[in-house]
Chains A and B, each alone.
Chain A
Amino acid sequence: MNQRRNLDGARLAQEARQGNRRALARLLSLVENGAPAGLIALSELFPYTGQAHIIGITGSPGAGKSSLLNRLAHAFRQSGTRVAIVAVDPTSPFSGGALLGDRLRMRTLINDDGIFIRSMASRGHPGGIARATHDAVMLLDAVGYPVILVETVGAGQAQVDVARVAHTVVLVEAPGMGDDIQALKAGLMEIADIIVVNKADRPDARQTMRMLQSVRHGGPSGHHGPGGDAPAPPADADAWEVPILLTSALEERGIAELQAAILAHRQYLSASGQWAARLAQHARAEVELWLRRHFEALQTAHLPPERWESAVDAVAARQAAPAAVAQNLLEELLASICHRRRGEC
């Protein structure tokens, strides 16, 4: 297609390291598209990663994630810290297209050299971030952004993948969520390191905050005991106590407190040894993801679509059980690899 896409990954990686924003932007596209040049750049740059504090911002659609992220990025800029932002919005399952609107709320950041914002479509990945979000964050880390903010799609209980990328997860909710709390405690609340009730300019914000507090402490609707009979577990002195904060992105209130909580969490991670534990978790998730990707590539390369169809048809016609059919496909896959390597396997 477009000729400007045929680019040299190693050269782009070098240019991006030297501060060339266009090179960085192109690399982000290359990794997003799974292009070979993107893979080359990723391995070139990998030794420089591991420096950034990666902060995930998740929560219900419309809770104010982008607006809050805008304020938060400003707060980091005030202290001279350069900030990168990856904002994920959903891909339409019907057209494969996407309307990426998070930038709309970040307009005040655009005229600042110390900020780099990238919108990303989820491209069918179900976990609240895109499949390539890991890779994008790695690039931004490697070129020297010390703080990276990742905004997920408006998330429900199962969309917890941001915890595989971020060191600190901020869960943003807004007043009036009512029943959503039930769904929240199942997933998102368990990955949250900091909980924020945004839109504190609205009168019902405190009530939402109290509700969240009772869920966190295993109160009447908490997950520590049915019906709230069980007392809250004793607090471990070394454990991180998840703070619940009130903010208003609109009136710019509570932002300094949120930034302080994020920095405190970073300190806690280092002091408690949890930083290393999270890095290990992320590494595991990364390797698993790549193993799956490599396996998918093998499937595409070695199993022709007709073979797939016949296998699926056999199961649908109840001629063979799915597990047995999959086993056969695996054998064929291995044989095909072996054949193509001239028996060296």
Chain B
Amino acid sequence: MERKIRVLIAKPGLDGHDRGAKVVARALRDAGMEVIYTGLRQTPPMIAEAALQEDVDVVGLSILSGAHMALVPRVLEEMRRRGLDDVALFVGGIIPPDDVAPLKEMGVREVFGPGTNTHDVVTFIRQAVDEPTA
């Protein structure tokens, strides 16, 4: 049987709505991916543990609260602690342009701002799965 791309979509932090995350989750499903959706207010250990148990190829974080510079390193650290260095992480939400470069330096593979076309997310994920980081 063919293998499917598996993606975890998670919302860390305290911001209270997940419309954007759900739109992305549905778009990825419609592109033929298996999307594990874990809902609001996930802690970094919860996200990393779910990524491990579900053996996902890619993790997407949706962050609207402005806390991305604090949350993202903690998620990355929890993922590394579990040996998930080869799982690509992308971040979506309200991210000021100045924060993009520092986030990528931390290990984030891609950042998607508001108004991103979901096709771009699909394309990014397909590429990330085909060309894992060295």
* Contact flags A59-94 to B (C-beta < 8 A → 1, else 0): 000000000000000000000000000000001101
- Of B48-56, B98-106, B107-115, the one contacting chain A is B48-56
Min C-beta distance of A135 to chain B, whole Å: 11
Q: Which residue of B lies closest to A98 (CB)?
A: B34
Min C-beta distance of B70 to chain A, whole Å: 20
Among A25, A99, A101, A111, which residue has its beta carbon within 8 angstroms of that of B52? A25
Residue pair A33, B34 in contact (C-beta under 8 Å): no
Residue pair A111, B31 in contact (C-beta under 8 Å): no
CB of B17 within 8 Å of the partner chain: no
Among A28, A92, A101, A103, which residue has its beta carbon within 8 angstroms of that of B50? A103
* Contact flags B69-105 to A (C-beta < 8 A → 1, else 0): 0000000000000111010000000000000000000
Residue pair B86, A119 in contact (C-beta under 8 Å): no
Note all chain A residues with C-beta closer than 8 A to B129.
1-2
Residue pair A100, B35 in contact (C-beta under 8 Å): yes
Note all chain A residues with C-beta closer than 8 A to B86.
2, 4
Residue pair A21, B53 in contact (C-beta under 8 Å): yes
Most buried by B among A22, A116, A131: A22
CA distance A32 to B34 in the complex (A): 12
CA distance A111 to B49 in the complex (A): 8
Are A96 and B32 CB-contacts (below 8 A) given A22-B52, A22-B82, A110-B50? yes
Note all chain B residues with C-beta closer than 8 A to A101.
37
Q: Which residue of A lies closest to B42 (CB)?
A: A107
CA distance A34 to B1 in the complex (A): 5
CA distance A57 to B129 in the complex (A): 34
Note all chain B residues with C-beta closer than 8 A to A253.
none
Residue pair B55, A95 in contact (C-beta under 8 Å): no
Most buried by A among B4, B26, B49, B53: B53
Residue pair B30, A118 in contact (C-beta under 8 Å): no
Most buried by A among B42, B50, B54: B54
Among B4, B37, B38, B57, which residue has its beta carbon within 8 angstroms of that of A2? B57
Q: Which residue of A lies closest to B1 (CB)?
A: A34
Among A34, A35, A92, A103, which residue has its beta carbon within 8 angstroms of that of B36? A103
Q: Interface SS of chain A: helix, strand, loop or mixed?
A: mixed
Min C-beta distance of B133 to chain A, whole Å: 11
Q: How many residues on A have C-beta within 8 angstroms of the other chain's C-beta atoms?
A: 37
Among B32, B37, B45, B53, which residue has its beta carbon within 8 angstroms of that of A117? B53
Note all chain A residues with C-beta closer than 8 A to B54.
25, 118-119
Are A111 and B29 CB-contacts (below 8 A) given A5-B3, A26-B55? no
CA distance A119 to B50 in the complex (A): 10
Among A5, A22, A35, A97, which residue has its beta carbon within 8 angstroms of that of B35? A97
Note all chain A residues with C-beta closer than 8 A to B32.
95-97
Residue pair A95, B30 in contact (C-beta under 8 Å): yes
Residue pair A111, B45 in contact (C-beta under 8 Å): yes
CB of A29 within 8 Å of the partner chain: yes
CA distance A117 to B30 in the complex (A): 24
Residue pair B46, A97 in contact (C-beta under 8 Å): no
Q: Which residue of A lies closest to B46 (CB)?
A: A110
CB of A123 within 8 Å of the partner chain: yes
Q: Which residue of B lies closest to A29 (CB)?
A: B55
Q: Which residue of B lies closest to A106 (CB)?
A: B38
Min C-beta distance of A36 to chain B, whole Å: 12
The A-contacting residues of B in range 19-43, CB under 8 angstroms, are 25-26, 28-39, 42-43
Note all chain B residues with C-beta closer than 8 A to A54.
none
CA distance A219 to B37 in the complex (A): 42
Note all chain A residues with C-beta closer than 8 A to B82.
22
Min C-beta distance of A150 to chain B, whole Å: 15
| B residues at A contact (CB < 8 Å) | 1-4, 6, 25-26, 28-39, 42-43, 45-46, 49-50, 52-55, 57, 82-84, 86, 129-130, 132
**Assuming A1-B130, A22-B84, A97-B29, what are 11 further A-B pairs, CB within 8 angstroms?**
A1-B129, A3-B132, A25-B53, A95-B32, A96-B32, A99-B26, A100-B36, A101-B37, A104-B38, A107-B39, A116-B53
* CB-based closest 8 A-B pairs: A97-B29, A25-B55, A34-B1, A33-B3, A104-B39, A110-B46, A97-B32, A96-B32
